[in-house]
Amino acid sequence: MSTDDRKELKKKIHENIAKFEVEIVKLEDATKPIAPENSLGRVSRMDAINNKGVAEASLRSARKRLVKLKMALEKIDDPDFGKCSNCNNAIQAGRLMFMPESSNCVRCAR
């Protein structure tokens, strides 16, 4: 991986980290408990509880991805960054730009 590719990837990782930090704040707000004193109908309350569950799953996923992005940012200057952890071949640049936290090439990820 060239120096320019690493710089571009670092920029992409920083952008993704910022995006996920904002998303996590929004999702945390969406997962707050539903107060029983709110005057919602039974169906509306069930819908709100269902939406809360979906938001909680999205929040867990976003937090995991944020941790992986931060780890990728820490490791980006390592000489082994961009190599598949399974077969030790280079991970395709397109895959790294799409998923900077990838530790496997497309073939091994299947």
Instruction: Say which amino acid occupies 3.
Output: T
Task: Assess whether pLDDT exceeds 90 at residue 66.
Answer: yes
Sole residue written with tokens 């819908």: 47
Tell me, yes or no, whether 91 lies in a domain.
no
pLDDT at 36: 67
Tell me, yes or no, whether 108 lies in a domain.
no
Instruction: For residue 51, give its domain range.
Output: 3-78
The tokens of 84 are what? 């598949």
Is residue 105 within 8 Å of 92, Cβ to Cβ? Answer: yes
Instruction: Say which amino acid occupies 91.
Output: I
Separation between Cα atoms, residue 66 and residue 44, nearest integer Å: 32
The residues near 108 (Cβ < 8 Å, ≥ 6 apart) are: 84, 85, 86, 87
pLDDT at 55: 93
* pLDDT tens column, 77-103: 998 899 999 999 999 989 999 999 999
pLDDT at 45: 74
Percent of the chain whose pLDDT exceeds 70: 91
Tell me, yes or no, whether 88 lies in a domain.
no
Mean local confidence (pLDDT), 10-22 = 95
Tell me, yes or no, whether 87 lies in a domain.
no
Tell me, yes or no, whether 70 lies in a domain.
yes
Beta bridge partners of 83: 90
Structural domain count, the chain: 1
* pLDDT tens column, 31-57: 888 766 656 666 677 787 888 899 999
Strands (E), 1-102: none
pLDDT at 22: 96
